[in-house]
Structure formats: C-alpha cells, structure tokens
Chain A
Amino acid sequence: MSAARRRKPPVFTPTRVALGLLFTVMALSLALPGVAETWWVLGYLGLIVATAIALNGLRREPGQVLGRRAVRRGLVLALMVVCVGLVATPPFSEGQGPSAFLLLFFLLIPLNVALGRATQRVATAPDAFVDEREEALRNRAHRIAYPLFAVVCGGTLVAADMASTQTRMWVIDALIHGGPPVALLELLFVLPAMVFAFLEPDRLRPEPVDTDLSRLQRGRARAAAALLGLTLGTPVLLSLLMLLPPRVTAFTSALTASPPAQVGTSAVAPMNCKAFNADVVVGRGIEASIPVSAAACWNGRVATESYGMNRSDCHAGDTLAAYVTTLRCSRTTDSGGTLHFVYSAAVASALLPFLTQDVTVHIVIDRNGNVEQFP
C-alpha cells in the first residue's frame, strides 16, 4: 500500500473469481428443469447480488464492536463451535434429515461475513491491498493456521481411523454424507482469517471524517444493512408462510373405460369408475405439494381402488427447500362397501424445521359412487 507499491487493482482478485464461479453455478442451476419456473428464486438471486454489491461498496471499517479483540475472539470461538457441531451432525444416511446440518450451515454465513468484516479480509487480500503491518500479520496467521489445520483435521482423521471399526466407518460415512466436509472446507479456507482475528490487537476507533462523506457512508451502510436483513429475512419469512392454509386444487372426472373387475367383486355387476386428482400445496416460495392421483370404481355393492391408493403412491410432489414426511397412507373398505383412502403428511421448512404443517387428503366414496369426502 506504500506509494511505490500502490498500483492499479488486479482484475482477477480471489473475490471476483469466487463471485464469478458462484454466478456461473447459479446460472447453470437455473437451467435445470423447474428452477427457472420459480420466479422468486430468480428474484432472490438478484437480491443476493444486490446485497453483495452494496456490502462490497462499503468502506471496510470493522467499527467499534468488531474492532475489539475480545469480540473477534468470541467470533472465532463461535465458528469453532459451529464446526464442531457440523462434525457431530449425524450423516444424512442415518435418516434424520439434514435439518441440523442446514441450520449450522446457514449459521456459518453471517459468522463468516462478520469475520470478513472484522478482519477487513486481510487474511486473503493480495499484497497490493495490505500494508507492511497487515502483510506481516497475515503471513504469521497463515504460518500458524496451516500446521494447526493439519494437526486438528489430520489428527482427527488418524485417531478416528485407528480407534475402532465404528469410528472408521463413521469417517467414511461422514466424509460422504454429513457436515464434516463443510467443516473441513471452512477450516481450510477460513482458518487463517480466524487466526488473524484472534491475533490482531484492539483496533482504533475510526476518526471523524468529512461530514458529507460520512453522511453518504452512513446512508450506504443503512441501505446495505437493509438489503442484508432482507436477504437473511426472506427465507425466514417464506418459512413462516408455510403456516398459512394450504392451497388445494382438486377435481374428479369420470373414467371413460372401465377397468377390469376387481378381486372380490361380482363379475356380473358393471363397474363405474372415477378419477380423483388433487394437489395440496403448502407454503409460498418455500413449498411442497402433496399430489393425489387415484381412481376408484364401484358397482353398487362395493367401492374399490383402481389405482393410486397404494403405499407407494403416497409421496411428495414438487418441493422447494421443504421436507415432506408421510404420516399415514391407508386404504380401507368398510362393511358398507365404502372406500376410505387417507394420505397424511407433515410438511416442514428445510430452514426452520420446527415450522411444520400437517396435511391430510381424504377420498371417501361409497358403493354407489357418491363422493363423501374429497380431498
């Protein structure tokens, strides 16, 4: 940063390369079927980009709170706790779902943003953007971080590999399915910044600057904070919208061709059939659909299932950041010949998994073809 070293900023900084890769991945993912049809995803990606630009344009001053070493050390401790939590998260393969993983993963985002702001991203800054003190501290942080990384991660892997067969299996399973790879990547890329934050002494309070500039900076900071709040708050708001009443689309139609008579029904009685189609959508944006596509037939003595009322037919439709757990899927025929089909499912937000809504679809049709309940 000296007069001799002050030069034109490079075009391809790590941040720009990372953002370029991120946008490329986003663009490619939008090409996937179904994603581009979801309008809010496009809008949300635009919001993320706007927030990133607004935050990037701010004067990178950590302020009075993040400038204190004690606060920065607390931040480092919080990141370590999240990493330990990620390592301890049960692998997806154990059937517990990735809810805990997702929560910890999303917790990493604000912590990493705060760490980047607290260290002014000096740990990853090119030489042209740091002065000699920052360069010395950055180099020291890297010298400490990577042996530490090798000892912590390598030591954990070696210990788990040698301890017992179960721990060895845990390593294999966790590295493929669980949170440990995320913790590994977090430490690999962020540990130098964590060491930097831990080492750097208390920062000075920012000096008073030009009033107009200060006002402009404050305005930009408020706008950036509002955008950041909106970016972080949108998924939460959309998760809350899952508690609204579901949207139901349902219709029935007569089947033109009668299927063959079912087992247990009279061969002489003609069968009439009806198709039942329903789609129950829970949530707005973050949503899941519970589809039902079934047919039932009746002959005046009994109503029977033609298709779509078996256990394998009870599954979720399109989901976006939501989980569907089947609670009940049953088909019964009572003594009066009435057919009962019940498909009940719990829909939960992937971001806030404690926000769930139970949805139940009933098909009740009597032996004469009267639809008593649908959906």
Chain B
Amino acid sequence: MPDTSGGGDTARGSQSRLYNRIAALRADRGLSRQELADEVGVNYQTVGYLERGDYNPSLELAFRLSEVFGVPIDAIFSRRPLRPMSEALYGSEPAAGGEA
C-alpha cells in the first residue's frame, strides 16, 4: 500500500514501480547528484533513491525535475520500462552517420 505522506512514495512492490531516465538525463547534462539535488531542492541521497527506483517522487518534485531537464514528465517517468535514449531518439535502427 503506497505511503502518501509527505507527497512521495517509497517504492514497494512491482505495482508501484516507476521507471525513470533521471540518471541518463543527469549524465547528459553533466550534473552531479548534488547539483541536481540543489536544483530541485532535495537531499542528494533522494536523487540516488529516485535513480535506483527506490523512491517515487511527488507530483511537485516530478514537475521540478521536468523543468530542470526541460523535457516533459512522461519523458522522464513511465509506468513501463523505458527504452534507451538512443532508441527513443533514433528508432529501432539507429541512423548511420545522420542526425535526427
């Protein structure tokens, strides 16, 4: 049963599992966990738990992450396993030598 106190949820069980691309987006922007944590106003450990899928964020935190990365929330979080970024950008067959 999800614990809704405080807005977020410590992920327990497969039903509440939320997949995310935070680690990839953070690496893409060259941010450390601490820097991202400072941007969104949480402890850097919380960023780690988010990346590991040990914690599901509140809607407010999800929006803040979306604003920081400049992408829609559904590009960061999904109820289903996310495809790799390259596959999402270039389709199933990456284009050879060209830009999308």
Contact = CB atoms under 8 A, between A and B. Distances in A.
B54 A136 contact: no
Most chain A CB within a 10 A radius of its CB, from B8, B43, B49: B43
A132 interface: yes
Contact of A203 (B40, B45, B55): B45
A5 B8 CA distance: 16
A256 interface: no
A276 B73 CA distance: 91
Contact of B57 (A130, A132, A209): A132
A132 B61 contact: yes
B56 to A, nearest CB: 9
Interface in B29-65: 32-34, 40-46, 48-49, 54-55, 57-58, 60-61, 64
B3 A136 contact: yes
A interface: dominant SS: loop
Contact of B42 (A132, A140, A201, A209): A132
Interface residues of A, number: 22
A2 B60 contact: yes
Given A2-B64, A201-B49, A136 B40 contact: no
Interface residues of B, number: 26
A201 B54 contact: yes
A131 B10 CA distance: 13
Nearest to B34: A207
B10 A136 contact: yes
B7 interface: yes
A209 B37 CA distance: 14
Contacts of B8: 132-133, 136
A204 B47 CA distance: 10
A132 B54 contact: no
B5 interface: yes
Nearest to B47: A204
A16 interface: no
Contacts of B41: 1-6, 131
B42 A2 contact: yes
A204 B43 contact: no
A134 interface: yes
A167 interface: no
Contacts of B43: 1, 130-131, 133-134
A132 B48 contact: no
11 contacts: A3-B64, A132-B6, A132-B57, A133-B8, A133-B10, A133-B43, A134-B43, A203-B45, A203-B48, A204-B48, A207-B34
Interface of A: 1-6, 130-140, 201, 203-204, 207, 209
Interface of B: 3, 5-10, 32-34, 40-46, 48-49, 54-55, 57-58, 60-61, 64
